[in-house]
Amino acid sequence: MTVSKTWSVIEMLEYRQNRLRMDPLNCNEVSPSSENVDSLEFCRVRCRGVFDEKKSIFIGPRSRSISGVTENGYYVITPLMPLANDPKSVQAPILVNRGWVPRNWRDKSLEVAAADDQPPSIAPPSQESGKRSWWMFSSKKKKVEEVILFSYFKFLVKVVCNLKMTPNDNTLHQQDQVPTVKPTEVVGVIRGSEKPSIFVPANDPSSFQWFYVDVSAIARACGLPKNTLYIETINDNVDPSNPYPIPKDTNTLVRSSVMPQDHLNYTFTWYSLSAAVTFMAFKRLQSKKSRR
């Protein structure tokens, strides 16, 4: 029994390591149906698009050991959206686990979300200002007329200057230029939802509490179809100048996903039981020999 379980774990390791060695697939060639995702899990894919940072989901807390010091943080999952007029772009949004980030990333994201949802406060005019407005109106009227005349004069000067421009002299000022969207290309592996243990709390999307990866629930929270493709980025060369998010390298992905903690515990339990039974049988045989 123990030998068969050990062999199944070894086969699992080899199978997923071989998947990770394969050339990346084009993301648009992968169907997001559940059957295909299960059969293609741990296959590498290449995707191109633009991240929608405002819809990021933080999974955790998840600990990470950095220089021997354990630090709590989160995995950040962000929708990768299609790029217009780009044939290499993803044709449909996908969810990308970009890697591990410190706790302050999630705190800042929640602060920005709260600020966006809070309506601007406008103080109502006081009664005192209302009483004074009637005699201030006449003095302000002349100033308003002067401002209007001055603005009209500036407008005429601008029109004359534009008429003197040649057809080739139509360069926009820097502040008038429309910012371009910077495309992002990621390489990751196809993954499915996590299976939490009984000790993991349930996700609570309404309070932005995500303890494990539930692809359909995360997609719904981001306003995407429930069968949205989910990938986990891998990167063996992290840029020290821009370390976060920290994707998993290939070895870490194999250790944490191919050999998760429950498999390790399961294998250790079987070996411990086998060793205990062998020891008890040996002691019993020894006691019988001593009696003779």
Q: With a cut of 70, say whether residue 75 has pLDDT above it.
A: yes
pLDDT at 19 over 60: yes
Share of the chain above pLDDT 70, in %: 65
Could you tell me the pLDDT band of residue 171, with boundaries at 50, 70 and 90? very low
d(CA 22, CA 209): 35
Cα 243–Cα 245–Cα 249 angle in degrees, nearest 5: 85
Give me the residue spans of the domains in the chain. 20-116+180-258, 130-169
Are the beta carbons of 184 and 190 closer than 8 angstroms?
no
Structure confidence at residue 122 (pLDDT): 46
Do residues 208 and 110 make contact, with C-beta atoms less than 8 angstroms apart?
Answer: yes
Mean pLDDT, rounded, for 99-104: 94
State the CB neighbour count (10 A cutoff) for residue 217: 16
What local confidence, expressed as pLDDT, does residue 135 receive?
46
Question: pLDDT higher for 49 or 166?
Answer: 49
Q: What is the mean pLDDT of residues 102-107?
A: 92
Tell me the angle at which helices 2-21 and 261-291 cross, rounded to the nearest 10 degrees: 150
pLDDT tens-digit readout, 191-211 = 999 988 899 999 999 999 999
Q: What is the DSSP string of 28-40?
A: GGS--SHHHHHHH
Which pLDDT band, with edges at 50, 70 and 90, does 162 fall under?
low
* Residue 21 pLDDT: 86
Quote the mean pLDDT of the chain: 76
Taking Cα atoms as reference points, which of 69, 59, 53, 67 lies closest to residue 101? 59
Mean pLDDT calculated for residue range 49-67: 91
What pLDDT shows up at residue 174? 41
Q: Which among 27, 91, 101 is positioned nearest to 57, based on CA atoms?
A: 101
Neighbours of 94 (CB within 10 A): 26
Q: How confident is the model at residue 3 (pLDDT cuts 50, 70, 90)?
A: low
> Cα 57 to the chain's mean position, in Å?
6
For residue 284, what pLDDT is reported? 75
Of 179 and 229, the structure prediction assigns the larger pLDDT to 229
pLDDT digits (tens, 9 = 90+) for 247-272: 988 877 776 654 444 445 555 566 67
pLDDT tier for residue 12 given thresholds of 50, 70 and 90 = confident
What's residue 232's pLDDT?
95
Query: Side-chain half-sphere of 265: how many Cα atoms within 13 Å?
Result: 3
- The per-residue pLDDT for range 123-139, each reduced to its tens digit, is 454 454 444 444 444 55
Does the structure show a pLDDT above 50 at 37?
yes
Q: Is the pLDDT of residue 16 over 70?
A: yes
Could you tell me how far CA 17 lies from the centroid of its own chain? 24
Model confidence band, residue 185 (pLDDT cutoffs 50, 70, 90): very high
The pLDDT of residue 161 is: 56
